[in-house]
Amino acid sequence: MNPADPPVRSSRRVVLAHYGEVGLKRGNRLSFERRLRDRLREGLEHAGLKARVALTQGRYAISLPSDDALPRAMSVVTRIPGVANASAAYVVEPEIEAIQEAAATALAEAPPGSFKVETRRADKSFPLNSIEVSQAVAPACLERSPRAVDVHDPDITVHVSILKDAAYVSAARVPGPGGLPVGSTSRLLSFLSGGIDSAVATWLMMRRGARVTAVHFHNRTHEGTAVLEKLEDVCGVLAWSAGRMPMLVVPFEACQRAIVGLVPAEYRMIVYRRAMLRIADQLGRTERALGIVTGDSLGQVASQTAENIRTIHEAATLPIYAPLVGSDKAEIVALARRIGTFDISIRPHADCCSFLIAKHPATVSNIHEIRQFESAVDWDAVVAEAVAGTEKTVHLPDPDALGA
């Protein structure tokens, strides 16, 4: 060895990722574990990282070419549905001295504050039980990094996992989204308006394992193209969950013009939304989607009163998922910030739903009356024209959205 070379490290680090809900699956756990592994591999590849993802005893150990890549890998991994938490962990031989050394190092690198040690043994043949390991590790930590011990509410938890061939030690677990890896359930269409709510609703359904195709209804004359740039950026963020994000842009101006000619201004919003659902039922067939996601939140705006939601949803044959229906706006905003869509969503844009509508849209609607207004529209032609003009693009994860 050249004397100028840095010393060979006695331990190396990996990103250690745990799943939560995947662990509850009994019969098909293996296929969930594999799917999550595939999502992790895909995400790391999109981030330009040459990583090796190994599934060992219910956790993923992700090896990277150098420790410099750890922050970027952590940023990717903690965005992937199915991941409950991840940490940059030291990997050592499953021997108590090596574990003590790694734990002392990990804690010394952690921010100040109280701590405790928590040990899990996947390998029960280890000579010490979990409590004995923690009792042996804590004094070694304190020697290097004197601080208070707090077993009930510590600022830092040093996690020790002992497996058959290795032990993992870390002092900073970062929560992931939880939920299930994308692909665990069938495809849904998600109505993406460019606003705050629909991006969050889309993310929530991806977190439940759904593959999602975004759908935007676009009035070129009214909205211009700024909204499309926003949607591309939103898809670039959301694609970190899924690996890729297809989007359909549906030309909506002809449909809206037909409606404007026949429906009074205060009811147009309702009829626009019903028209979107009619078109989506057709798109669902070609996309093989089994449901429609919207960002509706009960009572938030005129189109979201219980009366109007009933009238609007009545036009769909596919089931509608509105995961924000019971959420408070402040909660939705907090989630939008967390997932990274908020700053994009607040960029100004015109929404097709504001096209020639009344200043005060009706908050109550009568389905018979609405059907009466709609009866003069040639829906087959309107839907066919919109479907024929629909353009599909596929968006990959945006590295600029990683922040690491």
Q: Does 296 bind ligand ATP (CB under 6 A)?
A: yes
Q: Does 145 bind Mg ion (CB under 5 A)?
A: no
Least CB distance to ligand ATP at residue 41 (A): 31
Is residue 311 within a helix (H) or strand (E), and if so which, with residue range?
A: helix 306-313
Among 32, 90, 191, 203, binds ligand ATP (CB under 6 A): 191
φ, ψ dihedrals at 144, nearest 5°: -85, -30
Position of minimal CB gap to ligand ATP = 195
Q: Does 303 bind ligand ATP (CB under 6 A)?
A: yes
Cα 133 to Cα 126: distance, rounded to the nearest angstrom: 10
Q: Which is nearer to ligand ATP, 56 or 282 (CB)?
A: 282
Q: What is the DSSP string of 202-266?
A: HHHHHHTTEEEEEEEEE-HHHH-SHHHHHHHHHHHHHHHHHS-EEEEEEE-HHHHHHHHHHS-HH
Least CB distance to ligand ATP at residue 302 (A): 8
| Among Mg ion, ligand ATP, none, partner that 352 touches (CB below 5 to 8 angstroms by kind) | ligand ATP
Binding residues with ligand ATP: total (CB under 6 A): 19
Least CB distance to ligand ATP at residue 324 (A): 8
Amino acid type, 290: L
CA angle 72/76/81 to nearest 5° reads 160
Least CB distance to ligand ATP at residue 80 (A): 24
| Among ligand ATP, Mg ion, none, partner that 75 touches (CB below 5 to 8 angstroms by kind) | none
For residue 215, give Cα distances in angstroms to 14, 200, 279, 396, 401.
38, 14, 10, 16, 21
For residue 149, give Cα distances in angstroms to 11, 56, 96, 171, 203.
26, 31, 20, 14, 38
Q: Which of 255, 307, 261, 250 is nearest to 284 (CA)?
A: 250
Least CB distance to Mg ion at residue 79 (A): 25
Cα 240 to Cα 397: distance, rounded to the nearest angstrom: 5
Least CB distance to ligand ATP at residue 385 (A): 17
Q: Which is nearer to Mg ion, 87 or 193 (CB)?
A: 193
Helix axes 29-46, 70-77, angle to 10 degrees: 130
Cα 231 to Cα 195: distance, rounded to the nearest angstrom: 9
Q: Does 353 bind ligand ATP (CB under 6 A)?
A: yes
Residues 151-210 binding Mg ion (CB under 5 A) are 193, 195
Tell me which stretch binds ligand ATP (CB under 6 A): 106-114, 159-167, 214-222, 280-288: 214-222
Q: Which is nearer to Mg ion, 115 or 355 (CB)?
A: 355
Among 236, 251, 295, 340, binds ligand ATP (CB under 6 A): 295
Tell me which stretch binds ligand ATP (CB under 6 A): 42-50, 63-71, 97-105, 213-221: 213-221
Q: Does 233 bind ligand ATP (CB under 6 A)?
A: no
φ, ψ dihedrals at 43, nearest 5°: -60, -45
Neighbouring residues of 88: CB distance < 8 A, sequence distance ≥ 6: 13, 14, 15, 16, 67, 70, 74, 170, 172
Q: Does 352 bind ligand ATP (CB under 6 A)?
A: yes
Q: Does 195 bind ligand ATP (CB under 6 A)?
A: yes
Under 8 Å between Cβ of 164 and 94? yes
Q: Does 193 bind ligand ATP (CB under 6 A)?
A: yes
φ, ψ dihedrals at 360, nearest 5°: -120, 90
| Among Mg ion, ligand ATP, none, partner that 64 touches (CB below 5 to 8 angstroms by kind) | none
Cα 188 to Cα 210: distance, rounded to the nearest angstrom: 7
Q: Does 203 bind ligand ATP (CB under 6 A)?
A: no
Tell me which stretch binds ligand ATP (CB under 6 A): 92-100, 187-195, 361-369, 378-386: 187-195
Q: Does 355 bind ligand ATP (CB under 6 A)?
A: no
Binding residues with Mg ion: total (CB under 5 A): 2
Cα 64 to Cα 48: distance, rounded to the nearest angstrom: 11
Q: Which stretches of the chain bind ligand ATP, using CB under 6 A?
A: 191-193, 195-198, 215-217, 294-296, 300-301, 303, 351-353
Q: Which stretches of the chain bind Mg ion, using CB under 5 A?
A: 193, 195
